[in-house]
Chain A
Amino acid sequence: MSERFEQTVLTHLDAAYNLARWLVRSPADADDVVQESCLRALRFFGGFRGGDSRAWLLKIVRNTCYSWVRKNRPAEINDEFDETVHTPMQVADSPEAKLISRAESDRVRKALEALPLTFREVLVLREIEGLSYKEISDMTGVPMGTVMSSLSRARQKLREQLGAAAGKEA
């Protein structure tokens, strides 16, 4: 393995696995997807012109995940932004301050895992991988303004999800 390729890909293996694990939601499948992504990365490496290798690799992982989901769980792909479900949030009685104090990482994890693919993706890229709007836009092919509104909706969804989970427990 060339040293440059190794440095580019294996340095970011945790990030690659983390993204795959969140998008396909199973350790074994994430393992396969990351291996497949690395093979793809090797194939495309000639086209890599330097720059941010983490974003470059994550983009390949992301696309591989989407191929995987399309093949294995096609229903998830259609489960995209449903505009009709989105209602402006009622901020004044937002219970999140109370929720968070009880929300252990486990609950947040479950809520995040339960989100539709596109919401989960944008939250993981922004909040866990710390990518900028520009990087997310480059990766997903949507304009930066749309990244901001997707994040807005994803955050709203996550709050709702946590609210629903808390409601069931109560």
Chain B
Amino acid sequence: MDCTLDRHLLDGYLDGELGFERALEVEAHLASCPSCTQEVEGWKHMRAAIQDPELYHRAPAALEEKIRARFPNGERKLSVSWLQRWLWAGGGAAFATAAMLLAFLGWHPASPTMAQEIATSHIRSMMSDHLMDVVSTDQHTVKPWFDGKIDFAPPVQDFAAEGYPLAGGRLDYVGKRKVAVLIYHRALHIINVYVWPAEDAGSSPIRVDTVQGYNVLAWKKNGFEFRAASDLNVPELRDLANLVSP
């Protein structure tokens, strides 16, 4: 009861929002303070209950239809003034002109950056039924599944204990080569981790890009190139990155 730790620090710690040194301080404190430890553990239980899919309200299918119907190019043109429509069309025309000009100048929108390509692959994987080729939470099932399908053995490990359960794997085609993709979950978020052999043995730190609302992390380590794409926040994605390539 005579604990003097600022309670807010425990929240920052729980949320992975403290800097490295602060987090170490809190950990040191937890080691000697049973009541704070109990509080942290208690919230982890609570968090699991809150993140139960039962508590997530998915949009009803009819809602998307209603929204599509209300938009300018939908069936009905509701509450969109002629001016807005005109601007819309004008914007389209301007875009078309710009695109033609860029094409003329030799800029090819068909050669997107790697981050863009990863984000597109991530989005596609969630839109189609092609998220996973092998569905398993068991690394000993997923790892051998890649044998013979690709010419390298990607590191496959389950991190359920750390809050990132392995959900499965698939093959994908990125950067003009076949790559292994590991699918992890974090609460309701899906994380696609792309792996392929690096050209050299060096390593490079994690770089973060945001493409169309998705975070794309890129790094090189242990002889592999890694990319991770998700709508999960960056600190937690970094956590997973550090687990995947220790």
Contacts and interface: CB of A to CB of B under 8 A. Distances in A.
Interface string B7-49: 1101110010100000000000000000110110111011101
Contacts of B64: 10, 13
Interface in B199-246: 210, 212-213, 215, 231-236
B42 A53 contact: no
8 contacts: A18-B58, A38-B71, A42-B71, A94-B38, A96-B45, A103-B49, A131-B233, A159-B42
Nearest to B12: A148
8 tightest A-B contacts by CB? A53-B213, A17-B59, A21-B57, A100-B45, A91-B35, A105-B54, A96-B42, A105-B52
A18 B55 CA distance: 9
Contacts of B188: 128, 130
Interface residues on A, range: 35 or more
Given A13-B67, A53-B213, A97-B42, 9 more contacts: A9-B67, A22-B57, A90-B1, A97-B38, A100-B45, A100-B49, A109-B54, A130-B236, A158-B46
Contact of B57 (A2, A18, A55): A18
Contacts of A14: 56, 58-59
B59 A152 contact: no
Contacts of B8: 148-149, 152
Interface range for B: 35 or more
A100 B49 CA distance: 8
Interface of A: 1-2, 7-18, 21-22, 27, 30-31, 34-35, 38-39, 42, 50-56, 88-92, 94, 96-97, 100, 103, 105-106, 108-109, 112, 123, 126-128, 130-133, 135, 148-149, 151-152, 155, 158-159
Contacts of A8: 212-213
Given A16-B59, A97-B38, A148 B11 contact: yes
A35 B17 CA distance: 33
Nearest to B87: A46
A15 B235 CA distance: 20
Contact of A132 (B17, B50, B67, B189): B17
Interface in B54-96: 54-60, 63-64, 66-68, 70-74, 79, 92
Nearest to B187: A130
Contacts of A10: 64, 67-68
A53 B59 contact: no
B63 A13 contact: yes
A112 B39 contact: no
B46 A31 contact: no
Contact of A135 (B7, B42, B212, B233): B233
B123 interface: yes
A52 B66 CA distance: 25
B43 to A, nearest CB: 6
Contacts of A50: 210
B186 interface: yes
Nearest to B42: A96
Contact of A34 (B3, B39, B63, B212): B63
A152 B64 CA distance: 35
Contacts of B47: 127
A130 B189 contact: yes
Contacts of B11: 148-149, 151-152, 155
The residue in B10, B57, B92 that gathers the most chain A C-beta atoms within 10 A of its C-beta is: B57
B141 interface: no
Contacts of A38: 67, 70-71
A128 B73 contact: no
A112 B55 contact: yes
A128 B73 CA distance: 33
A157 B32 CA distance: 26
Contacts of B73: 1-2
